């Protein structure tokens, strides 16, 4: 006899079945609460189903870089080619010749290190933040180079922090040139090209999802913890990725 209001017939067998899922004994996904959970998700600190993992990864879920399912997904993703991207976002008028990348590798590495500094100071930074800050900086330098006018575009607080690291590195770069050469030969047009090179690299490395951190992780991988901002020519050359 079935139990009623907590009372059970003395001869009835104990009832251990879960009645939430028509007798099926399983735990539901933390995200959708419908499908069966099959894997642990560090983003929600709970177990979720493979479908939610695939569909919500870096969309609604802030996936940590060490998540094995995220790393596995990145291995199978095809790289984004520059030709397939929105060309207007890549500043097509800015030419990046191989000779420029060779001559200014230290500048590009220095600005990359500035990005790494910003990321380590705020672990909430994602690809959209980096790309947004680099885009705004590129527009400002493009205006400065073409018209001589300083034009400030509104940024989020995170983007301002990223831009601040870039400006600090440019200042340090110029001071180093003045110390060793007696003058600074770094031009605003050089900074524009360097920023655009990092921007294009960012667009090819990000997954494009709202909360992607693929570009962030790429930048950090170039500069292990406790590494000096001053790189030798050999170290600098080994980190340059031609966009």
For residue 38, count CB atoms less than 10 angstroms from its CB and return exposed for 0-12, middle for 13-18, buried for 19 or more: middle
Confidence class of residue 25 from pLDDT cuts 50, 70 and 90?
low
Residue 41 has pLDDT above 90, yes or no: yes
The neighbour count for residue 168, using CB atoms within 10 Å, is 13
pLDDT at 226: 67
Domain spans, the chain: 18-76, 84-239
Cα 104 to Cα 198: distance, rounded to the nearest angstrom: 13
Query: Tokens standing for 163?
Result: 């831009």
Q: Over the stretch 160-219, which tens digit does the pLDDT of each residue have?
A: 999 999 999 999 999 999 999 999 999 999 999 999 999 999 999 999 999 999 999 999
Element (H, E) at 159: helix 157-181
What is the average per-residue pLDDT within 44-56? Answer: 96
Task: Determine contact, residues 223/110, Cβ cutoff 8 Å.
Answer: no
pLDDT averaged over the chain?
A: 86
> What torsion, rounded to 10 degrees, do the Cα atoms 105, 175, 141, 94 define?
-20
Cα 152 to Cα 148: distance, rounded to the nearest angstrom: 13
Q: Over the stretch 129-155, which tens digit does the pLDDT of each residue have?
A: 999 999 999 999 999 999 988 877 889
Predicted structure pTM score: 0.80
Task: Determine contact, residues 242/101, Cβ cutoff 8 Å.
Answer: yes
CA 115 vs. chain centroid, Å, equals: 11
What is the average per-residue pLDDT within 74-80? Answer: 87
Residue 35 has pLDDT above 90, yes or no: yes
For the chain, what is the largest distance between any 2 Cα atoms, rounded to a whole number of angstroms?
98
Residue 112 has pLDDT above 60, yes or no: yes
pLDDT at 150: 81
Residue 53 has pLDDT above 70, yes or no: yes
pLDDT at 92: 96
pLDDT at 238: 44
Residue 2 has pLDDT above 50, yes or no: no
Query: Tokens standing for 14?
Result: 């104990």
Cα 225 to Cα 202: distance, rounded to the nearest angstrom: 21
pLDDT at 3: 38
DSSP tag of 10: T
What is the average per-residue pLDDT within 48-59? Answer: 96
């Amino acid at each position: 006899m079935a139990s009623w209001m907590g009372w059970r017939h003395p001869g009835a067998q104990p009832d251990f079945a879960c009645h939430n899922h028509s007798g099926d004994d399983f735990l539901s996904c933390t995200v959708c609460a419908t499908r069966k959970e099959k894997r642990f998700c560090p983003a929600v600190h709970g177990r979720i189903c493979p479908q939610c993992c695939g569909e919500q990864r870096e969309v609604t879920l802030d996936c940590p870089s060490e998540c094995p399912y995220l790393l596995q997904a990145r291995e199978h993703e095809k790289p984004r080619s520059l030709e397939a991207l929105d060309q207007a976002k890549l500043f097509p008028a800015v030419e990046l010749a191989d000779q420029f990348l060779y001559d200014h590798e230290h500048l590009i590495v220095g600005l990359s290190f500035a990005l790494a500094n910003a990321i380590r100071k705020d672990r909430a930074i994602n690809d959209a933040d980096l790309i947004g800050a680099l885009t705004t900086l590129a527009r400002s330098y493009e205006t400065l180079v073409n018209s001589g006018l300083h034009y400030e575009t509104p940024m989020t607080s995170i983007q301002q922090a990223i831009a601040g690291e870039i400006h600090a590195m440019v200042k340090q770069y110029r001071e180093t040139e003045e110390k060793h050469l007696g003058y600074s030969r770094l031009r605003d047009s050089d900074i524009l090209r360097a920023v655009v090179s990092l921007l294009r690299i960012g667009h090819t490395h990000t997954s494009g999802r709202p909360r992607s951190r693929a570009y962030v992780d790429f930048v950090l991988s170039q500069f292990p913890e406790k590494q000096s901002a001053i790189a030798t020519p050999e170290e600098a050359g080994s980190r340059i990725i031609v966009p």
